[in-house]
Each structure stands twice: as structure tokens, then as C-alpha cells.
Amino acid sequence: MAIDPLPLLERLIALDSVNPDLSPGGAGESAVAGFCEDWLRERGFEVHRLERRPGRPSLVAVARGSGGGRSLMLNGHLDTVAYGTYKGDPLAARVQDGKLFGRGAFDMKSGVAAMMAAAAQATERARLPGDVLLACVADEEHASFGTEEVLERFTADAAIVTEPSHLEVTLAHKGFAWFEVEVLGRAAHGSRPDLGVDAIAKAGHFLVALEELGRRLAASGGHRLLGPGTVHASLIDGGEGPSTYPAHCRITLERRTVPGESAATVRAELTGILDGLGATVPGFAYRLHEGLHREPFEADPDSAIARVVLRQAERVLGRPPVIRAEPFWTDCALLARAGIPCLLFGVDGGGAHADTEWADLASVRQVTDVLAATITEFCSGTP
């Protein structure tokens, strides 16, 4: 019997799960994880609660198969961004003109509701040959420690991340690498240019070179689905006062990467630029510090999970689904790094991280139908 995901989605929206690493004082995932745990246990799932960081739980709910089938993991994150200037009550789901409004409606409690309803529907009457795993994870909006914790203990033959994708099948996304360039000067009184080295002025040479790198990347063509990688300066800090030569200028930059690029290739790229400036700009010196980085992702369009999702999406939508790539990062990259073939498929809507957020109601039901049929077909196949 079909399970309507919309009442479940309304309950999920009503539970505050703002990520406290993004917004100090945020509620975190405890309340929403507790609700999901109760809901899934009532429907016969074996639920594992992972909580290395107190107050930041992730869940893995398992419907054990009878044996001989393929296992499938559905992954969705429980955390949301802050309410900020959200218009109206962010925890009160509101339906209007075929849309459901509320914080997390689009990103991504709709995907969590769809995967929970689909898994319950696919397993309620009989055991499938393969295991079905639901990973309801913490912290995707910040550093994804939830999915990392899950992958230390669980694996599957394939996975689907149910981030919103406008009913299009996402087979690739960009990664990112954060670096800090510290340009070194020499502090001195503003009246003594003979003693000082202006780190901010030297940093200007690097900013010009960074802009030129961006132009070269844009002209490179890049990936067949994602286009080229990009780079931009995000933060700049330097100086101590109007009458002091600055000893340091720090520039934080973000490099968005495409398949074939990595933090190592970005480091080499930046080192080449900085060493070139050191050889041509008198007094230019630097330190390069590597920050957080996440890999880009690309799925095999001929993998078993891709073929099943494409087939079931075409059946439900009445047309072949659009194949797309995302410019932002998702947990697909972590699953792929763990050796799990995966892709991304989710609802239509809009307003992620914005002052108004909504999910298209019809699409939530369509995603649920696609996921339920995919679970049944994939988990009935042989490994």
C-alpha cells in the first residue's frame, strides 16, 4: 500500500534541526532523529543511532533482506541552515498552490520523507532479497561528519542521495578546496618605507594573478556536464593601523573542482603562481595553508543503480528524465570514495537557504514512487 510522504514531511519540518556548527545555539539533529527513529522502529526497521558528537546523531535504519539480493542505501541529511530572515514561521508547514513551505521543505526534509516513506512501502508486505538501509545523517550543511561516521560502519552495493534535484538525475557534482595564502611583509612605522614591506600591496599581485587563473579556467572548457572549475577570493585580512606597514595579509580562497582535479592539483596550481610571483615581484614572500577540501563526484551512467533509477523515473514521469550535474558539493562524493556506486535524485521546488523555501507537492510523491520501485527492483537483483 502506498504511503503518503506529505504528513511525514510536515512533521519533519516542525522539528527544529538548525546546524549549530553554522549557527551557534542551533538545535541540532536530536529531536528530528528521535522522531525518525520512532517512526522507523514502528515499521519494523532495525535502527542504529550513531552519536560520536553528543547532540548530533545520525541514524541507520535497516530492513534486512532474505538473502541473495543487492543492498541499497538511501541517504538524506537532517540538518538545516538557520532561519535568518525567513518569512513566516519556519517550523509551520504551509500548503499553498501545490507547494509546501517551511525551512528544510526543499533542502532536504522532502528527500528524507520520500526515502522513509518509499522504504517502508517497499518492505511492508514481504522481505526483499537484499537489505535496505536508510542513512538519516547529521551535519551535511557544514562538514558532513554524519555520513563519514555512517560509512565507518555500514556499506551497500549502491546508494541514492535524495537531495533536491528537480526530478532530474544528477550524475556529477563539483568539489571544493579552501586555501589560505599568507603574504608576508615587514612591520615598520609609516614614516620609514626603508624598513617596511607592505604585505597588502604585495598581496595585490596575487589577487591579479588569481583573477587571471579564473579567466584561464573559464576558457578551458572543463567537464562535459559541469563545465570548468572556478576560483575566487573569499576573505581578506591584513594590517594593524594607518601608520604601520602591514606584516601580513591573509587571503582565503575557494577553488571549485571538477572530476580530474583535487586538493593536490589545486595546491600545485597555487604554488606555481606564488613561486612565479616570488621570482618576479621584489620582496614577495608567502606561506600557503590548506583548509577543508572535498572531492568532486562523477557516477558511471551504466552502473546498475543508474540504469534502475533512470528506468523507474521514466516510468513515473512519463518521459526520460533529464541528466544533470550540480555545481555544489554533496555526500555523493563520500559514498563514491567509500566504493559505493551512487547518484542523486530528489524533488522539485526552490528557496534552499533563502527567506522562502518550498517543495512541489506532486514531486514529493513522484520521488517516493520512483524510490519505492527502485528499492524493489534493485534489491531483488543479484549482487
Residue 84 and residue 143 share a domain:
yes
For range 207-232, the mean pLDDT: 97
Give the global pTM: 0.93
Give dist(CA 38, CA 48) in Å, integer: 12
Give dist(CA 29, CA 290) in Å, integer.
29
Q: Is the Cβ–Cβ distance between 297 and 173 less than 8 Å?
A: yes
Instruction: Express each pLDDT in 47-83 by its tens digit.
Output: 999 999 999 999 999 999 999 999 999 999 999 999 9
Residues 141 and 20 in one domain: yes
Q: Tell me the sheet residues that pair with 189.
A: 244
For residues 356 and 246, membership in a common domain is answered with: no
Which pLDDT does position 126 carry in this prediction? 86
Identify whether the C-beta of residue 371 lies closer than 8 Å to the C-beta of residue 160. yes
pLDDT score of 208: 98
Q: Are residues 248 and 312 in the same domain?
A: no
Q: Give dist(CA 235, CA 233) in Å, integer.
A: 6
Kindly state whether residues 129 and 45 are assigned to the same domain: yes
28 and 137 co-located in one domain? yes
Q: How many CB atoms lie within 10 A of CB 27?
A: 17
Domain count for the chain: 2
Residues 7-45: pLDDT tens digits?
999 999 999 999 999 999 999 999 999 999 999 999 999
What proportion of the chain, given as a percentage, has pLDDT over 90? 98
- Interacting residues of 143 by C-beta distance below 8 A, sequence separation 6+: 21, 292
Q: Are residues 213 and 322 in the same domain?
A: no
pLDDT at 85: 86
In terms of domains, do 27 and 155 share one? yes
* Closest to 351 in 3D by CA, of 105, 147, 184: 105
Final residue of a structural domain among 267, 294, 321: 294
Domain edge (last residue) among 266, 294, 322? 294
pLDDT at 84 over 90: no
The residue behind cell 542513512 is 135
What pLDDT, on the 0 to 100 scale, is given for residue 382? 84
Q: Cβ distance 118 to 345 under 8 Å?
A: no
pLDDT in tens, 334-360: 999 999 999 999 999 999 999 999 999
Could you tell me the CATH number of the domain that includes residue 93? 3.40.630.10
User: Is there a single domain that holds both residue 229 and residue 370?
Assistant: no
The 10s digit of each residue's pLDDT in 282-319 is: 999 999 999 999 999 999 999 999 999 999 999 999 99
Predicted confidence (pLDDT) per residue in 115-144, tens digit: 999 999 999 988 999 999 999 999 999 999
Report the CATH number that the domain containing residue 190 is assigned in CATH: 3.30.70.360
Three-class HEC string of the chain: CCCCHHHHHHHHHCCCCECCCCCCCCCCCHHHHHHHHHHHHHCCCEEEEECCCCCCCEEEEEECCCCCCCCEEEEEECCECCCCCCCCCCCCCEEECCEEECCCHHHHHHHHHHHHHHHHHHHCCCCCCCCEEEEEECCCCCCCHHHHHHHCCCCCCEEEECCCCCCCEEEEECEEEEEEEEEECECEECCCCCCCECHHHHHHHHHHHHHHHHHHHHCCCCECCCECCEEEEEEEEECCCCCEECCEEEEEEEEEECCCCCHHHHHHHHHHHHHHHHHHCCCCCEEEEEEEEECCEECCCCCHHHHHHHHHHHHHHCCCCCEEEECCCCCHHHHHHCCCCEEEECCCEECCCCCCCEEEHHHHHHHHHHHHHHHHHHHHCCC
pLDDT digits over 164-209, tens only? Answer: 999 999 999 999 999 999 999 999 999 999 999 999 999 999 999 9
- Residue 123 backbone class (left: φ over 0; alpha: ψ -120 to 50; beta: rest): alpha
Residue 284 sits in the same domain as residue 185: yes
Domain of 120? 5-173+297-380
Amino acid in the structure at residue 154:
F
Q: Which residues pair with 304 in a beta bridge?
A: none
pLDDT (mean) for 144-170:
98
- Measuring CA to CA, how many Å separate 364 from each of 119, 166, 238, 328? 14, 10, 48, 22
Q: What is the largest CA-CA distance in the chain?
A: 83
Q: Can you tell me the mean pLDDT for 225-254?
A: 97
| Distance between start and end Cα atoms, the chain | 27
Burial of 258 (0-12, 13-18, 19+ CB in 10 A): buried
Task: List the grid coordinates of 263.
Answer: 586538493
Q: What is the mean pLDDT of residues 204-229?
A: 97
Examine the domain organization and report whether 69 and 150 are in the same domain.
yes
Using CA atoms, how far residue 335 sits from 244, 257, 296, 343, in Å, is 50, 18, 12, 9
Supply the pLDDT for residue 2.
86
> Pick from 237, 266, 294: which residue ends a domain?
294
* 54 shares its domain with 180: no
- Mean pLDDT computed over 237-256: 97
